[in-house]
């Protein structure tokens, strides 16, 4: 089953298994069903009236003590992180997780049963592009308990994790890219582990009726207790990575970035997922196609092309929004993935070349100069560019506002303009351009 990384995927057919739930100790059966594009992952409580569903989204996160609980209204699903981790890492974007209890089967405390289930169901591509969250700038969250998660830009989804127990016992480190093959081989079978100190109060309150050495590793002092021996010498850090993937799946998008995690846990993982969801909401609000007014005395594309000799794919101005006084101009250019320069710059990680931004500044500055000269019988030549700085990457989907201000005009033949480009209220590039005019 080949995965096309750009497309959404669902399971090929319904598949299920049953087991014990961790908290109540009762039998639960779980079925994975295919779901249409843009559906995302939803839990369905088959045991309740009207069979309510809960979106696996960060907005529905209720508690993060020991495990991750989602809820909508009065309906809850507990301990969702292992099944979500497997779905996310095995490239399933859309599915219904149907259960007849409030918790998935705990299995052996790892994500292995869910990987087996997904493979039984198969994974199939759907005809819609997948949604990504591209990390553009470093982000981080920190907790009072010393947990730290840093997210850095990267072309792939990677996790570098350091885990440490009480008094730094069982300190372990692992860094890996997360792909379906790597997850299946290196991460999925790592089991839940608990410290005996944390376990005792739960046992007394009878909160883990389904818990046993068959579905968790118990650490008591230096001793590691489990039914079968450790599956990896560093099984604990692998399980921490498994949980990070499951908790970040609540963002609802594929993450392209590098997670650097120090002593992670569900609480701090969830906090990072919230920060990503907030940033995504901000970006969506900024990039929603808005009709940009042409403004008083602005120019539409036709008028721009009457002045500028440039044509597709080299015309870097969609419209002039307006002029301010005699020597200022603001224009706009929508950057789409169809721009020819994205093909080679860079494959798999499209970034608008800086020189194209300078070209856009030059074209906008010439529009201003032509307006001042009130003639199109002369041609402006771009002579020099000084103090050019590229501050942030410009990506497909961005709307770039190009500002130019005439700072010097020596006679009729030479002119200097100060220019900058803005995306999402931040300056992405700037420079000072010089032009000379010659008769056509």
- Enumerate the active-site residues: 266, 345
Q: Which residue, 69 or 192, has its beta carbon nearer to Zn ion?
A: 192
DSSP labels, 162-181? EE--GGGTT-EEEEEE--HH
Question: How big is the site for Zn ion, counted in residues (CB under 5 A)?
Answer: 2
b/e burial code for range 133-163 (CB count within 10 A of at least 16 → b): bbbeeebebeeeeebebbbeebeebbbbbbb
Q: Kindly indicate which of the ranges 130-138, 180-188, 190-198, 303-311 contains the residues binding Zn ion, using the contact rule CB under 5 A.
A: 190-198
Q: Where are the alpha helices (DSSP H) in 67-177?
A: 81-89, 112-121
As measured in angstroms, the least distance from the Cβ of 243 to Zn ion is: 4
Q: Kindly indicate which of the ranges 33-41, 96-104, 130-138, 186-194 contains the residues binding Zn ion, using the contact rule CB under 5 A.
A: 186-194
Distance in angstroms (rounded) separating the CA atoms of residues 280 and 286: 10
> According to CB under 5 A, which one of 243, 339, 430, 432 is a site residue for Zn ion?
243
Apex CA 233: angle with CA 229 and CA 239, to 5°?
90
Sheet holding 399-410, edge to edge: 319-324, 328-334, 399-410, 414-423, 426-439, 378-390
As measured in angstroms, the least distance from the Cβ of 222 to Zn ion is: 22
Contacts of 89 (CB under 8 A, 6+ apart): 111, 178, 179, 180, 183, 187, 188, 245
As measured in angstroms, the least distance from the Cβ of 167 to Zn ion is: 22
Q: Kindly indicate which of the ranges 37-45, 163-171, 204-212, 243-251 contains the residues binding Zn ion, using the contact rule CB under 5 A.
A: 243-251
Place of tokens 């990506």: 395
Each residue 70-99 as x (binds Zn ion by CB under 5 A) or -, in order, gives ------------------------------
Distance in angstroms (rounded) separating the CA atoms of residues 44 and 24: 18
10 Å CB burial of residue 222 (0-12, 13-18, 19+) is exposed
Q: Which residue, 243 or 432, has its beta carbon nearer to Zn ion?
A: 243
Cβ(330)–Cβ(371) below 8 Å:
no
Which residue in the shown chain puts its C-beta closest to Zn ion?
243
As measured in angstroms, the least distance from the Cβ of 264 to Zn ion is: 11
Q: Kindly indicate which of the ranges 38-46, 242-250, 317-325, 381-389 contains the residues binding Zn ion, using the contact rule CB under 5 A.
A: 242-250
Cβ(22)–Cβ(107) below 8 Å:
no
Q: Which residue, 194 or 433, has its beta carbon nearer to Zn ion?
A: 194
Q: Which residue, 243 or 398, has its beta carbon nearer to Zn ion?
A: 243
Q: Which residue, 10 or 85, has its beta carbon nearer to Zn ion?
A: 85
As measured in angstroms, the least distance from the Cβ of 80 to Zn ion is: 10
Q: Which residue, 45 or 191, has its beta carbon nearer to Zn ion?
A: 191
Residue 224, phi then psi, degrees to nearest 5: -110, 115
Q: Kindly indicate which of the ranges 9-17, 159-167, 238-246, 372-380 contains the residues binding Zn ion, using the contact rule CB under 5 A.
A: 238-246
Q: Is 103 in the site for Zn ion (CB under 5 A)?
A: no
As measured in angstroms, the least distance from the Cβ of 140 to Zn ion is: 22
What residue ranges bind Zn ion (CB under 5 A)?
Answer: 192, 243
């Amino acid at each position: 089953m080949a995965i096309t990384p750009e497309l959404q995927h669902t399971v090929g057919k319904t598949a299920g298994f049953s087991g014990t739930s961790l908290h109540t100790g009762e039998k639960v059966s779980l079925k994975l069903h295919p779901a249409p594009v843009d559906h995302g992952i939803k839990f369905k409580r088959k045991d309740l009236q009207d069979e309510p569903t809960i979106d696996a989204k960060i907005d529905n996160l209720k508690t993060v003590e020991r495990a991750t609980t989602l809820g909508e209204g009065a309906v809850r699903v507990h301990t969702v992180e292992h099944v979500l981790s497997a779905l996310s890492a095995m490239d399933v974007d859309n599915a219904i997780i149907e259960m007849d209890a409030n918790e998935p089967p705990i299995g052996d405390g790892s994500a292995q049963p869910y990987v087996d289930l997904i493979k039984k169901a198969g994974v199939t591509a759907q005809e819609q592009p997948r949604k990504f969250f591209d990390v553009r700038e470093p982000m981080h969250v920190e907790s009072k308990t010393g947990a730290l998660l840093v997210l850095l830009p990267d072309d792939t989804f990677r996790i570098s994790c350091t885990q440490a127990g009480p008094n730094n016992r069982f300190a372990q480190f692992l860094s890996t890219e997360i792909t379906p093959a790597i997850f299946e081989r290196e991460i999925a079978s790592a089991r839940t582990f608990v410290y005996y100190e944390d376990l005792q109060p739960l046992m007394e309150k009878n909160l883990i009726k389904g818990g046993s050495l068959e579905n968790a590793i118990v650490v008591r002092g230096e001793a590691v207790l489990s039914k079968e021996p450790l599956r990896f010498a560093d099984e604990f850090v692998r399980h921490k990575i498994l949980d990070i993937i499951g908790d970040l799946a609540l963002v609802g998008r594929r993450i392209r970035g590098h997670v650097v995690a120090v002593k992670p846990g569900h609480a701090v993982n969830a906090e990072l997922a919230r920060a990503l969801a907030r940033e995504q909401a901000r970006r969506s609000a900024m990039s929603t196609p808005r009709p940009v007014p042409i403004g008083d005395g602005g120019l539409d594309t036709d008028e721009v092309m009457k002045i500028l000799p440039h044509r597709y794919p080299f015309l870097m101005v969609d419209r002039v929004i307006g002029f301010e006084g005699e020597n200022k101009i603001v224009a706009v250019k929508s950057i789409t993935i169809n721009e020819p320069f994205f093909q080679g710059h860079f494959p798999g990680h499209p970034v608008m070349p800086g020189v194209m931004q300078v070209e856009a500044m030059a074209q906008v500055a010439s529009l201003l100069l032509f307006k001042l000269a009130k003639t199109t019988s002369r041609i402006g030549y771009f002579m020099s560019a000084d103090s050019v700085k590229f501050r942030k990457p410009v990506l497909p989907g961005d709307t770039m506002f190009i500002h130019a201000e005439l700072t010097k005009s020596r006679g009729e033949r030479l002119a200097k303009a100060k220019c900058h480009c803005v995306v999402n209220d931040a300056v992405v590039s700037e420079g000072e351009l010089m032009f000379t005019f010659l008769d056509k």
